[in-house]
Amino acid sequence: MAEAESVGENGGTRTLVSCGQPVSGQKVVIVNPESLTLCLPDQVGEVWIAGPSIAQGYWQKPEETERTFRGYLADT
C-alpha cells in the first residue's frame, strides 16, 4: 500500500492511502462532481470507474441507476 500526505486549505494534513492498481480494462478518473470535469493532480474529487466488471445499474431502480451509473464528463 502506498501512502501520501495532503495539505488542506487550513494547513492541516491528511494521510491518503492507496489500495492498489486498477484491474486491466478499467478506466479510473477523479472528477469534480459539480462541474463534471477532471480534477487536477492536487485536487480532491469523486473517483469514477468504468469497465467490464462494473455493475450496469440497480435492480428495478432506473432513476438511481441513471444518477449513479451514467456519469459523464462535461467535455465529452
For residue 50, what is its C-alpha cell?
A: 468504468
Domain 22-76 sits in CATH 2.40.50.140: no
Domain boundaries, the chain: 22-76
pLDDT at position 18: 79
pLDDT at position 48: 95
11-58 pLDDT per residue, tens: 777 777 778 888 899 999 999 999 999 999 989 899 999 999 999 999
pLDDT at position 15: 76
**Among positive and negative, which fits the CA dihedral 58, 47, 35, 25?**
negative
pLDDT at position 74: 95
